[in-house]
Amino acid sequence: MTSAPRSEQIPVPPHGLEYFYTPPELVDPPVLQIEAEEFAHLSHVMRRREGDLIGVVDGAGMAYVARLEKMQKHSARCTILSTFPGLHEPSRNLTVAMGVLKNPSRTDTLVEKLTELGVRSLIPMLTTRTIPRHARVDRWEKIALAAMKQSGRCVLPALKPLTRFEEVLLRPAAGPRLILHEEVTDVQLEEVVSRHDVDVLVCVGSEGGFTDEEIAAAVESGFVPAGLGSRRLRSETAAIAAAARLLS
């Protein structure tokens, strides 16, 4: 059980600190509240007690080290000891538009890993070769929330509704817009994006990749086809590899 003297200020989050979530509206410095399902997780699963130090993230860019002061029936009151804006967040705002995969568990894993890597926004995408015609956004939001806490991030990725590929092409260009294409071997991802580019959008197809017509439409809309090397990768591997490269 981790605890600290009441007068102690925490200069950096302690290594191995467990993070919990509370929305910004429950933060009123120097106090914050943890309620609902997160309180049940805090008290019954993780068995935290009054006096414990915990990490708290609000999903909107703030992280806190706090002390549990009062455990009530359905909520916990905490005293904020230190505040860490943008904790563990990358400097780049990466949006990944991803073709929904045939196997739901693989899409679940993709959402989890992209969240851990620091992706800022996720767009489930409907392409010509997408087999599922629906998106489990509610489930993915829960997966993203758990991954945010596990990785110590303080921004919860925005999960957009299921979007047609043609609509993604119409998104305004705040920065480079890329489309991964397995046949592109002469243009690598990093060659298109400079270290000064803050906002980047990457489109990744579902099984089978994009059709030639989709690639042509993307190019006409200003997207740059890029590759990840000579090996043929699964869709989820390509998305994870792209995010890792762009957010490293």
* 25-73 residue pLDDT tens: 999 999 999 999 999 999 989 999 999 999 999 999 999 999 999 999 8
Q: What is the CATH number of the domain that holds 134?
A: 3.40.1280.10
Average the pLDDT over 227-248 and give the result. 91
pLDDT at 191: 85
pLDDT at 8: 58
Percent of the chain with pLDDT over 90: 78
CB 206 within 8 A of CB 102: yes
Same domain, 181 and 143: yes
DSSP one-letter string for 133-198 = ----HHHHHHHHHHHHHHHT-SBPPEEPPPEEHHHHTTS--SS-EEEE-TT--SSBHHHHS-TT--
Residue 2: inside a domain, yes or no?
no
pTM of the model: 0.91
Which residues of the chain form beta strands (DSSP E)?
19-21, 27-28, 31-35, 53-57, 62-71, 75-85, 93-99, 121-126, 158-159, 163-164, 177-180, 199-204, 224-226
pLDDT score of 3 more than 60? no
* C-alpha span between 159 and 171 (Å, rounded): 15
Same domain, 142 and 230: yes
Same domain, 180 and 150: yes
Same domain, 97 and 41: no
pLDDT at 6: 44
* C-alpha span between 132 and 145 (Å, rounded): 23
Same domain, 145 and 30: no
Query: What residue numbers bound the domain in which 73 lies?
Result: 19-85
pLDDT at 63: 97
* C-alpha span between 38 and 94 (Å, rounded): 27
Mean pLDDT of the chain: 92
Same domain, 23 and 119: no
Which of 31, 60, 85 is the endpoint of a domain? 85
- 């860490």: which residue's tokens? 84
Average the pLDDT over 91-104 and give the result. 94
- And the tokens for 82? 């230190």
Residue 213: inside a domain, yes or no?
yes
Percent of the chain with pLDDT over 70: 96
Which of 85, 116, 131 is the endpoint of a domain? 85
Average the pLDDT over 180-206 and give the result. 89
Q: Is 241 exposed, middle or buried (0-12, 13-18, 19+ CB in 10 A)?
A: middle
Residue 188: inside a domain, yes or no?
yes
Same domain, 180 and 112: yes
Residue 47: inside a domain, yes or no?
yes
Residue 8: inside a domain, yes or no?
no
Residue 130: inside a domain, yes or no?
yes
Q: How sure is the predictor about 5, in pLDDT bands with cuts at 50, 70 and 90?
A: very low
